[in-house]
Structure 1
Amino acid sequence: MSIITKLASTLPARVRSEVYEVEKEKRTREGGGADVLSRIFGRRSAAGKPVNLQTAMQLSAVWACVRQTATVISSLPLSVYDKRDNGSRDTVADRFAEVLTVSPNADQTGMEFWEGMVAWLMTNGNCYAERTDGRLGLSQLRTLPSISTEPFRNADGDLMYRVRDRGKTEVLPRDKVFHVRGFGFGSDVGLSPITFGVQTMGTALAAEESAGKIFGNGMQVSGILKAGQTLTAEQRVQARKMLEAYRGSEAAWKVMVLEAGLDFQTLTMNPEDAQMLETRRFSVEDICRWFGVPPIVVGHAGQGQTMWGSGVEQIMIAWMNTGLNPILRRIEGRVRKDLIAPGQRIKRYAEFNREGILQMDSKAKAEFLTKLVSNGIMSRNEAREKLNLARRDGADDLTAQTAMAPVQDLGKEDTP
């Protein structure tokens, strides 16, 4: 990104638009880059508000959708496994697993890395990380800002990545970039909800700004100042200065003194209209649709919907199945395809533990584990691990209740 482009974000909208056009033409001559600029400057909505990552994240609904999804996924336990021939699996604890789960690079923990990757995936539709391979294989993953990373095909049809960082442009081959694509139509990139939801988010930004201005004016909208005669230019200036003293919320309930036949007539608006409650409520629900997050997850209850009870539990289960699980599968599939050697993909894989999402209360969890152990589905040691308790000797065997007997054996005595 050039210095001109960085400074343009502080300029007025008209000047910023002119700078954008100049930079767009320049980047097009250099080979690509116009789409990167559109993501930086944003697209203007019909409501007149430019929508990009920075402006969209100022909406509480967008912030909550991205934050909730990113933090929930990054907090799930992630492990690397080797599949056995009998269908069971062994947990892998090598350098590859350490990079994925504990220390992806010198600066980030595993949770911080995946939180950033999912946040970019939610907003941009793509997340990227530069991979570094050492003597023993994968040694580092460094997050690349999606807003300044651009996939493209070279003359031979090979997928390459143009990365603009710290004023420099670097082209990386596909084997040096870990790229997770979001929802799309099978192309080299996923689709950005901010780009396609520009009208929804632009309308929400305009509504928030309008509400803020109304509150800034002490909940009073503009009125009409009547005069019994034509005012001179000097009198008009004096009238404007007088009205300025009564603008803003700090001027609420001040008494205005009028003279020379002036009469001020206010245009009333009740508080509910001023807050535009229905418009802003619908904006939250509409934004949640773009990000695939139930409104209740971001603290927004629909009409007649409670924030507690079994209904919310079912909503959370639905969110895991239709919202979170597809993202987890995308990450797991891309890890298996791009980060694991071809000869090992058939047996080695990485997997998030989904059980971390659906945590039950202590009573329900105890009943759940008891049923699994008593029916021979889980050993006592495996149940102890679910409770973060140490393993015990002699508790690895599967056990089952023996009170039940086949119908044909009823009434028979046991043979010694």
Structure 2
Amino acid sequence: MPLLRRLLRPDTKRSRSSMPRLEGRSTSAGVSVSPDRALQVAAVFSSVRLLAETGSMLPTGVFQRSGNSRLPAAEHPLAPLLTYQANPHLEAGEFWAQVLGWMLTRGNAAAYIERNNGGRPVGLWPVSWPGVEMRRVKDTGELFYKVTLDDDEWAPIREDGGLVRAENLLHFRSFGVGGAEGLSPIGMARQAIGTGWAATAYIGGFFARDASPGSTISVPGKLDDTQFERLLRQWNDNHEGFENSNRIGVMEGGAKWEKTTLSPADAQFLEVYKLTRSEIAGIYGVPPHMIGDVERSTSWGSGIEQQSLGYVIYSLMPWLTRLERTAQRLLGDPSLYLKFNPDALLRGDTTQRFAAYAQARQWGWMSVNDIRTKEDEPPIEGGDEYVVPLNMSPAGQAAPPEQRALPAPQRRAQEPVDAPSVEDLPNWITQHYEAISEFFAEQGERVLAALNLRPDTPAEDLIDRLADDEVLTEILLRLALGLVGQVGSATAAALGGTFAAQETAAAVGASAAATAANINGTTVEQLKSTIGLGQAPAEVRESVRNMFGQMTDSRARVLAQARVSQTSSFASHEGAKQAGAVSKTWRVWDANPRKTHQRADGQTVGMRETFTIGSKRGRWPHDYRLGVDEIAGCTCRLQFNREES
């Protein structure tokens, strides 16, 4: 059927510089090479099977980039299609095996994207490449595909005449040198494959038709029938069979025994066959020893782990990378991507594997449960802790906790240390203001652009809370890490100790995420009240523009000062705690303080205890636990004490 379609299809003109296509099948060996015939060559089948099966057996997952982090996106609605079930009749592993098989033979593979009435992909259906014809719209250059299914194929193609737009078909390409199609490995290497086919056919015919004897007995003169039968029977009776091997042969009447060998031409053809296997393995980038050609050694190392590593990196990964890049187009988000995990092919022996785990555990980048997960073992209680050597600390950071207690002679006098106030940090307020103001400006542009397209869009749909929370969290976290490092180190140094900023990273990150969610939530509520139902579209846009104009100025300034106050209070508290301060005292700095703060002036508690401020309890000024009424406009500070008061 595919051949008939090709014969009836109009010829397409190709550039003189284009590489030969698969349709060119003739070879110097006089053999016509097609994918089906090529797969009958053992080296081709072994190479294709090896790459397709090892690629399809690997675990796959959908992930999302979030700053420098890579987070699993298993809950994404398209993840099951790529990792579990491509369509109701085909699991994902078999789908990838078919795609790789077509790429390795035809150089191209196609998968039709089935969509539901809402436009969301609900199935991936592989389509044989001979039934796919690439076309372009002459005026725009837009690519589309003419898909014709064979009698034994089925796919839920809705488009009239099988004319499928590019966004509804995944086109997987192998290596190419231009043009929209990938080059067929079989089409490009048909001379070597044709030679391999010819060698295989010759060897089969050699054993089927060869009449050359294994040995000969020659006698002078001519034997009559009786003498001939007697000589043959006597020789077979004495030497035929395993039990008669290596017996002494007695010849009479001048008879002479000679063993025959292959002719030089026949022996050379066998060498050609062996050489062709190595060439075909090279075409697919497969090490010869992995398809049964063990006569030649490998330069990838002597151990199984080294050979597996070389195969994965140089042979398999280029094909997997092509699958991942094409599949990313289905996800429709640059931050989302498909990932094949080749770790299962790179597992060393038990000794090597456990030695690597021990090193990873010792240097702090794997926990006990991380290791147990790698070995498919269930987690254990307390197994999520990370450890590092006592003598290690990041460059430019403080020493580990065990090294922070300084000898008494090195400690400063035992006077209290005041925490810095927000007035002491004008540069940080400016940095926060500029970053938050820029975020509001970009957010406002997105909202106005959405209103230009759809003036009736509700406030909840104008702001992507998930995306904006993530962006603002990254901004606030970056600023907070710098501020915490500066304030925490200064406070600890004043107390004669050191500060490890990395120990506060989790708390700083949680605070940044909570603040970002609160800010964006407030913005949505402001949008609801700003957009009046009776306003004309132009009036709505003007109201929103004014709202974000105020946010980039006044609101950004208030948020910047509040954020610096909150973060610096936390940082000074953590710096004092790490440096060994044993208590803290609430101090009022405002000439006209709140009554609750005035009553708390001089209140001293332990470093891990809380102050009583009115009816609330908090760890430091601007602690969120005190509530907005006690935080807003507060200028109080902490005083840290090295000894109990």
TM-score by length of 2: 0.48
> Is 1:83–1:90's contact at 8 Å kept on the other side of the alignment?
no
Corresponding residue for 1:160? 144
The count of corresponding residues between Structure 1 and Structure 2 is 341
Corresponding residue for 1:260? none
Corresponding residue for 2:330? 339
Counterpart check, 1:191 vs 2:183:
yes
Choose from 349, 352, 366 the match for 1:364. Answer: 352
Task: State the distance in 1 between where 2:146 and 2:162 align.
Answer: 6
Shift of 1:217: 1.4
* 1:280 partner amino acid: Y
| Residue aligned with 1:206, SS | helix
> Is 2:81–2:123's contact at 8 Å kept on the other side of the alignment?
yes
Corresponding residue for 1:394? 382
| Residue aligned with 1:318, SS | helix
CA gap 1:277/1:161 in 2 versus in 1, 3 angstroms:
same
* 1:301 partner amino acid: V
CA gap 1:376/1:395 in 2 versus in 1, 3 angstroms:
same
* 2:346 partner amino acid: L
Choose from 299, 318, 322 the match for 2:310. Answer: 318
| Residue aligned with 1:147, SS | helix
CA offsets 1:185-209 (integer angstroms, 9 cap, x no match): 2421100011111111111111111
Task: State the distance in 1 between where 2:404 and 2:150 align.
Answer: 84
Choose from 100, 104, 108 the match for 2:90. Answer: 108
* 2:104 partner amino acid: M
TM-score by length of 1: 0.73
Task: State the distance in 2 between where 1:44 and 1:288 align.
Answer: 21
> Is 2:300–2:306's contact at 8 Å kept on the other side of the alignment?
no
Task: State the distance in 2 between where 1:88 and 1:55 align.
Answer: 44
Task: State the distance in 2 between where 1:278 and 1:398 align.
Answer: 58
- Of stretches 359-368 and 391-400 in structure 1, the one that deviates more from structure 2 is 391-400
| Residue aligned with 2:172, SS | strand
CA gap 1:90/1:5 in 2 versus in 1, 3 angstroms:
closer
Task: State the distance in 2 between where 1:212 and 1:332 align.
Answer: 42
CA offsets 1:339-376 (integer angstroms, 9 cap, x no match): 012xx32x211111121221211121111111111101
Corresponding residue for 1:150? 133
CA gap 1:405/1:108 in 2 versus in 1, 3 angstroms:
closer
Task: State the distance in 2 between where 1:308 and 1:180 align.
Answer: 29
> Is 2:63–2:70's contact at 8 Å kept on the other side of the alignment?
no
| Residue aligned with 1:350, SS | strand
CA gap 1:310/1:154 in 2 versus in 1, 3 angstroms:
same
Task: State the distance in 1 between where 2:176 and 2:300 align.
Answer: 35
> Is 1:151–1:161's contact at 8 Å kept on the other side of the alignment?
yes
CA gap 1:307/1:88 in 2 versus in 1, 3 angstroms:
closer
CA offsets 1:242-264 (integer angstroms, 9 cap, x no match): xxxxxxxxxxx9xxxxxxxxxxx
Counterpart check, 1:141 vs 2:129:
no
Corresponding residue for 1:93? 75
CA gap 1:123/1:380 in 2 versus in 1, 3 angstroms:
same
| Residue aligned with 1:64, SS | helix
| Residue aligned with 2:110, SS | strand
Task: State the distance in 1 between where 2:73 and 2:404 align.
Answer: 47
Instruction: List aligned pairs for 1:159-178, cutoff 5 A.
Output: 159-166=143-150, 170-178=162-170
| Residue aligned with 1:310, SS | coil
> Is 2:199–2:270's contact at 8 Å kept on the other side of the alignment?
no
Task: State the distance in 2 between where 1:162 and 1:220 align.
Answer: 56
Task: State the distance in 1 between where 2:362 and 2:119 align.
Answer: 44
Counterpart check, 1:203 vs 2:195:
yes
Corresponding residue for 2:48? 66
CA offsets 1:160-201 (integer angstroms, 9 cap, x no match): 112221369622111111111110124211000111111111
CA offsets 1:62-118 (integer angstroms, 9 cap, x no match): 000000000111111100112223524234234311110110011111111101111
| Residue aligned with 1:65, SS | helix
Corresponding residue for 1:229? none
* 1:366 partner amino acid: F
CA gap 1:56/1:320 in 2 versus in 1, 3 angstroms:
same
Corresponding residue for 1:77? 59
> Is 1:219–1:274's contact at 8 Å kept on the other side of the alignment?
no
CA offsets 1:360-393 (integer angstroms, 9 cap, x no match): 1112111111111110111221111101111223
Task: State the distance in 2 between where 1:209 and 1:322 align.
Answer: 32
Corresponding residue for 2:365? 377
CA offsets 1:316-355 (integer angstroms, 9 cap, x no match): 322222221111111111111x2012xx32x211111121
| Residue aligned with 1:28, SS | coil
> Is 1:49–1:206's contact at 8 Å kept on the other side of the alignment?
yes
Shift of 1:55: 0.5
Shift of 1:283: 0.5
Instruction: List aligned pairs for 1:261-280, cutoff 5 A.
Output: 270=262, 274=266, 276-280=269-273
Moved over 4 A (4+): 306-309, 403-406, 411-416
* 1:5 partner amino acid: L
| Residue aligned with 2:320, SS | helix
- Of stretches 76-85 and 45-54 in structure 1, the one that deviates more from structure 2 is 76-85
> Is 1:84–1:90's contact at 8 Å kept on the other side of the alignment?
no
Task: State the distance in 2 between where 1:195 and 1:317 align.
Answer: 29
> Is 2:73–2:79's contact at 8 Å kept on the other side of the alignment?
no
CA RMSD of aligned residues (A): 3.4
Unaligned runs of 5+ in 2: 14-20, 154-160, 214-239, 241-259, 409-645
| Residue aligned with 1:392, SS | coil
| Identity in percent | 27
CA gap 1:379/1:312 in 2 versus in 1, 3 angstroms:
closer
Task: State the distance in 2 between where 1:295 and 1:340 align.
Answer: 37
| Residue aligned with 2:62, SS | strand
> Is 1:220–1:269's contact at 8 Å kept on the other side of the alignment?
no
CA gap 1:88/1:412 in 2 versus in 1, 3 angstroms:
closer
> Is 1:214–1:220's contact at 8 Å kept on the other side of the alignment?
no
